[in-house]
Amino acid sequence: MKGDATQNVGSLNAFAESKGVEIRYDASIAPAKGVSYGGRISILPGMTSAEEVATLAHEIAHEMLHRDERRRETDRTIRETEAEAVAYVVCSAIGLDTNTAAADYIKLYNGNAQTLSASLNFVQKTAAEILNALEIVEERAA
pLDDT-wise least confident of 24-33, 39-48, 86-95, 100-109:
100-109
Give the three-class secondary structure for 30. Answer: coil
> Is residue 36 within 8 Å of 59, Cβ to Cβ?
yes
Bridge partners, 25 (sequence order):
43
Give the DSSP H/E element, type plus range, for residue 103: helix 101-108
What average pLDDT does this structure show over 82-86?
93
Amino acid at 6: T
Q: Percentage of the chain surpassing pLDDT 70? A: 93
Q: What are phi and psi of 23, to 5 degrees?
A: -105, 130
> Is residue 24 within 8 Å of 34, Cβ to Cβ?
no
Q: How confident is the model at residue 71 (pLDDT cuts 50, 70, 90)?
A: confident
Cis peptide preceding 31, ω within 30 of 0: yes
